[in-house]
Amino acid sequence: MRITDLPPELRPRERLLDKGATVLGDAELLAILLRVGSSGQSAVDLGQSLIRRFGTLGRLLAAAPTELSDIRGLGDAKRAALLAVNELHRRSLESLLRENTVFDSPLAVCRYLRQRFSGLAVERFVGLFVDIQNRLICCEDIATGTIDRVQVYPREVARRALAHNAAGVIFAHNHPGGSAQPSALDKALTARLKQVMGCIEVDMLDHLIVSDTEVWSFKQHGLC
């Protein structure tokens, strides 16, 4: 059944405008974004099939352009819409960090990092560089690795901190599909980074490990 065949009070767009977005399911919200379905399926059906394909809504919205190619029912316009939503979400979270100090917004930092790492199948190491007032200058990808490790070069990290004229930095990396507990290599890297940052007079504020279910802080555990 096409969405236009439904009574107006049951159509996703009309329900959103009348009752608000929270009353809609994930597939219905996707249907509004996708606008139309494809041959043999409505926009809601297409949204449901996309969520099933990627496992969760978060992984769908974090999908890379190559992951969205060659999917039945997803033309250029629909792929562009999905990619744009992901980037808008990332930028909105980043703007919150720029408006407040990172210590005033710990939940915003965690949400931002979860979004940045969402859907990644490999480890990625990033630096959140901040100014003297602990306001975000930028979040920069420093290294990308394999499913269970990433090679980080402290000299490159130091170079990026100096290039941004940063007063401090929060490091973060993800553990795809696993526990956020640090490995021996994570602990050794943290100690080395703290030493290098001290040499260039940049405060190492924390090192966070992000998994699907938790965020682990070296600072909170007295290791940073």
Note the pLDDT tens digit of each residue in 40-65.
788 888 999 999 998 888 778 878 78
Last residue of a domain, which of 88, 112, 143?
Answer: 88
56 in any annotated domain: yes
207 plus 135 within the same structural domain = yes
pLDDT recorded at residue 157: 94
pLDDT, tens only, 94-127: 777 777 766 666 777 888 888 888 777 889 999 9
What percentage of the chain reaches a pLDDT higher than 90?
45
205 and 115: one domain?
Answer: yes
Arithmetic mean of pLDDT, 129-158: 88
Higher-confidence residue of 171 and 64: namely 171
pLDDT at 191: 95
- Sign, CA dihedral 102-105-106-109, equals negative
Question: In the predicted model, what is the mean pLDDT of the chain?
Answer: 87
CB 123 within 8 A of CB 146: yes
Predicted local distance difference test score (pLDDT) of residue 62: 77
Domain assignment of residue 181, given as a range: 100-217
Tokens of 181: 């507990």
Both 53 and 129 in one domain: the answer is no
Least reliable range by pLDDT among 72-81, 111-120, 138-147: 111-120
Do 69 and 120 sit in the same domain of this protein? no
Of 86 and 165, more confident: 165
Tokens read off for 18? 């009348």
pLDDT, residue 186, reads 94
> Do 173 and 77 fall into the same domain?
no
127 beta partners: 140, 171
Position 39 scores a pLDDT of 76
Tell me: pLDDT of 1 over 70. no
User: Which residues on neighbouring strands pair with residue 169, listed in sequence order?
Assistant: 129, 204
